[in-house]
Structure formats: C-alpha cells, structure tokens
Amino acid sequence: MKLLKQAVIILMLLNLTGCWSKVELDELTFVYGLYIDVGKEPGTVEVSISSPLPNRLMSGTQTGSGTGDGKAYTLVSKTARTLQDAAIMIQKDLSRRIELSHIKIVVLGNEYARQGIGEVLEWFERKPEFPLGTYIMAAPGKAKDIFKLTPVFEQLPDQVLMNIANENIMFNTSVMDCILAEVSNMGYAMNYLSFGKKDETSEQGKTEYWAGVQGVMLFHDAKMKGILDVKQSRALAWGAGHLAGKLKLPEYTITWNEEGKGTASAIFQRNSASSSVKMTSEGPVFHIKVKGNASITFFKDSEGRSASNLSPLIKRRLQEQVVKEISDSLRIVQDAQVDVLQLGMLVEWNYPKAWNKLRERWTDYYAKHAEIKVTADFTIEDFGSER
C-alpha cells in the first residue's frame, strides 16, 4: 500500500514539470500569405511572406490601418536559387520564428506559373507543418504586387483573398487539390486574379488597389496550359461541381422573339453538377448533368405575357444557354489537354480494365476522342412580384 502511494505521488509530480518544448506566442511570426515569383536573376525564385503585426492589431482601430501610424501587416521578401534557401534567408532577418500553421493563401506570379509549379508543390509536400488545405491562386503579374490591395472590409490582404475562395466566386482550389491531381495525372484549375488601381482614393489621398477574379488558369503535369475568361470559367466551374465548389449565385439573362424584345434574368439560389461515364463500343461516353433552382429577377415581354405563363420557355432557354456555355468551355479545356473534371478517374473507378488500356495515352485520348455530353435540369422557384 505504501509503495502504491509513493507511485501516485511520483506520477503527480511528473505532471508539474511543464512542457519542455513549449514556444511562447510572442516568439513566433505567423505567416498568413505566401507569394512566389521568378527572381530578377535567371534561375532564382523570390519568396515573400506576409504577416500581421501584433503590436498594431488593436481592437477598435480602423480596418487594415493598425494604430494609424502604419499598416497592421507587413511583407518580407528574399530571392535565392531555391524556395527553401529563400525561406531560410527570410528567417535570418526576423526576430521571431516563422510559423506556417496559420497560412491562409498562396499566390503564384504569372511568370512563375508559366515556367512550371512542380518545385513549389514538392516543397509543400516536404514541409509537414504546411497546411495542405491552403487556397492557391495565380496573379496576372508579380504575386507580391497583390499584397498591395486595400483590405476595405478585412484587416489583412490575405483575408480578402481567402474570402474570395470561400465565397465560391469561381474555383476554391487548395494545395491538396493540386497535389492529388498531379499524383493522379489529372488536370486542375485555380483562380486567376485581376489587380489594379481604384478610381477612388483613400481619405489620406493615397491610391488604393483592388483585387478580384478575371478567370482561371489551367494546369496539367505542373505546367500552365491556358487561361479562361470569366464567362468560360464560370461555366467550367459549374460543370466541375465538387471539384470547384458551388458557384455563388450565378446569374443568366436570356431573350426570345426574333427581335429580342422578350428578356428575362434569372439568379440561381442553388446549383450542383454530377458526372458519370458509360462504356460503349467506341469508348467511354461522359455525361455531365447540372441542376439549379432559379428566381426570376427581371422580366419583359413585348406581347404582354406574364412570366409564369412563359415559364416553360424561360426554363428551356436557360437550360440551352447553360448547356452551351459549359460545352464550349469543356471543348476549350479539351483542346488544352487539361482534364479539369478528372473524367479519367471516372473510367478508372468504373471500368478498370478499360482504364489500363487508356492510362498511358489518356491525355491525348481526352483531348481528341473523349465524348462529353452536357444536360441541364432547372427549376424556377419564383417569378418575383407579378401583377
């Protein structure tokens, strides 16, 4: 009994030793954004990290302005031969240890994306502390220029970019999505940002910058294969379904009558897509089915008919337009040899024997022979206020 009491006392004392590996929060630099560009010298890469400044992040201060003496965030950049060397150079200049566990966004410069992103994806894989769910995007110019954007509604520029992905304005591609697609030899797409000066200026008379999404950038085998504009990207994102996320309130306008005097606009409150494959004697045939629930936000008919009476016509025209836009986008993606919808994996899952014959030549087969049929099934939920 005495021995048992001594053992219990020893165990209790061991719990009082504390955590030997603890690191205080004020010893860390929390990286929220990572911006990667081609360096000025050939064969080099420029890595930039963005981080909030805790001493300036105070409650009650103006959004993005810190205490008024300066911004509540900063950007540190270094150029080296490799990503890791650049990261080490950044660490040497900091008084706190870099912490990547809170990173929110990765932005790739246009030139860097065009030369291939295999190195950065491999770097992410080799860093156990890096969260693979981090969103990744491409910039129209240098990635670090995006950091100049004015966070009007947020505290940090990185939060603005993260919300763009969260809101499903187009694609919400993560680093994990890119890595899984590369491992499976499939294609993928990421948001292609727009960036520029605003016509308005701040109260201090300084120029403000604004970032948005102007399309998507296509990748296969870690190489940039093409860029789609907003209209093409929206259609591709709808067809990609879970690979892109549900689009945020897509809106379409259709017309009827030869003179075009009948017009209606519909906004989709809910939308989804599903894909399937059927094996035929000529090869696999892919079926993409999109669904949506729409509300009519604008209606005008030259003959004075009501929107509810023209419901079948509106529904048919909406389905025709969406199907056409998705089909056109998929043809562009096929020509670029980028299987963004990852249809090859459907063949592998459903027809493994057929996939064994197509695996080695799938990229070429997808581009030249894959037959993709798109259908739509929409429901009009309401027509607004009608007399």
DSSP string, 2-21: HHHHHHHHHHHHHTTS--TT
Q: Does residue 72 fall inside a structural domain?
A: yes
Query: What does the angle CA 363 – CA 366 – CA 367 come to, to the nearest 5 degrees?
Result: 85
Place of tokens 């809170």: 102
Residues 200 and 73 placed together within one structural domain of the fold: yes
Q: Does residue 141 fall inside a structural domain?
A: yes
In this structure, are residues 275 and 362 in contact, taking their beta carbons and an 8 Å threshold?
Answer: no
- Among 184, 204, 228, give the residue marking a domain's end: 228
Place of tokens 């030369």: 115
Residue 65: what pLDDT?
44
In this structure, are residues 39 and 46 in contact, taking their beta carbons and an 8 Å threshold?
Answer: yes
Mean pLDDT across the chain: 86
Residues 220 and 234 placed together within one structural domain of the fold: no
Nearest CA-CA partner of 166 in 213, 113, 116, 223: 213
CB atoms within 10 A of CB 116: 14
Residues 241 and 217 placed together within one structural domain of the fold: no
Which range has highest mean pLDDT (21-30, 78-87, 159-168)? 78-87
Residues 158 and 32 placed together within one structural domain of the fold: yes
Residues 143 and 95 placed together within one structural domain of the fold: yes
Strand partners, 280: 283
Q: Could you read off the pLDDT of 165-209 as tens digits, one per residue?
A: 888 778 999 999 999 999 999 999 999 999 988 766 555 667 788
The total of structural domains in the chain comes to 2
Nearest CA-CA partner of 95 in 21, 30, 27: 27
For residue 275, give its domain range: 230-387
- Among 196, 228, 260, give the residue marking a domain's end: 228
Q: Could you read off the pLDDT of 116-169 as tens digits, one per residue?
A: 999 999 999 998 889 999 999 999 999 999 998 888 778 788 888 998 888 877
- Among 180, 205, 228, give the residue marking a domain's end: 228
Residues 214 and 236 placed together within one structural domain of the fold: no
In this structure, are residues 366 and 330 in contact, taking their beta carbons and an 8 Å threshold?
Answer: no
Q: Could you read off the pLDDT of 293-306 as tens digits, one per residue?
A: 999 999 988 888 88
Residue 247: what pLDDT?
80
CATH number at residue 323: 3.30.300.210
In this structure, are residues 50 and 158 in contact, taking their beta carbons and an 8 Å threshold?
Answer: yes
- Tell me how far apart the alpha carbons of residues 197 and 209 are, in angstroms, rounded to a whole number: 4
Residues 320 and 383 placed together within one structural domain of the fold: yes
